[in-house]
């Protein structure tokens, strides 16, 4: 399992499930804290965690810094491996996914760039 910081868990959940085809794996709440992970049907052994910075995990200053870092796209790359990049691009773009780079053919593979609503990409 690898976690991402997102600005809003409901928004992130809708994005990864409705637009990218993930499904919920675990969604547990305890007060303000919500442990939320999704998985993709093609790779059920992997979970993607969608977490918001904030109490009780972070103090206010740290949470604000993390929110800023996510929003300016400074978190590490998130790469989804697909069978057919161009087809996947067409499919999820039609659902409103924000792309930063159209599919580019290089050295025999094709890649495209996208961002989630929070700024991860």
Partner 1 sequence: MATGLESKHERRYTSQDPELLRRLLRAKDRMDAASDEDWPVQRLARVSGVSAAHFARSFKEAFGVPPHRYLLTRRIERAAALLRDTDLSITEIAFETGWESLGTFGRTFRDVTGKSPGATRARERAAPYDLESVPECFLRAAHRPALTIAVSEKRRREACGTKGSEETEVA
Residue 51 backbone class (left: φ over 0; alpha: ψ -120 to 50; beta: rest) = beta
If binding is defined by CB under 8 A, does position 83 make contact with partner 1? no
**What is the DSSP track for 41-53?**
TTEEEEEEEEE--
Give the phi and the psi of residue 27 in degrees, each rounded to 5.
-140, 95
**Interacting span for partner 1 (CB under 8 A) from 14-22, 24-32, 40-48, 94-102:** 94-102
Residues across the chain = 121
If binding is defined by CB under 8 A, does position 68 make contact with partner 1? yes
Q: Closer CB to partner 1, residue 4 or residue 71?
A: 71
What is the distance between the alpha carbons of residues 70 and 91, in angstroms, rounded to a whole number? 26
Q: Closer CB to partner 1, residue 9 or residue 25?
A: 9
If binding is defined by CB under 8 A, does position 32 make contact with partner 1? no
The binding site for partner 1 (CB under 8 A) comprises 7, 64, 67-68, 70-73, 77, 79, 98, 100-102, 104, 106-109, 111, 113, 115, 118-119, 121
């Amino acid at each position: 399992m690898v976690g991402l910081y997102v600005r809003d868990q409901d928004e992130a959940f809708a994005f990864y499930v409705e637009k990218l085809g993930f499904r919920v794996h675990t969604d547990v709440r305890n007060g303000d804290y919500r442990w939320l992970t999704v998985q993709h049907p093609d790779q059920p052994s992997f979970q993607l965690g969608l977490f918001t910075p904030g109490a009780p995990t972070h103090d206010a200053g740290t949470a604000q810094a993390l929110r800023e870092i996510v929003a300016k796209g400074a978190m590490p790359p998130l790469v989804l491996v697909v069978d057919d990049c161009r087809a996947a691009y067409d499919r999820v773009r039609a659902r409103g996914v924000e792309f930063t780079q159209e599919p580019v053919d290089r050295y025999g593979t094709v890649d495209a760039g996208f961002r989630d609503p929070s700024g991860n990409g």
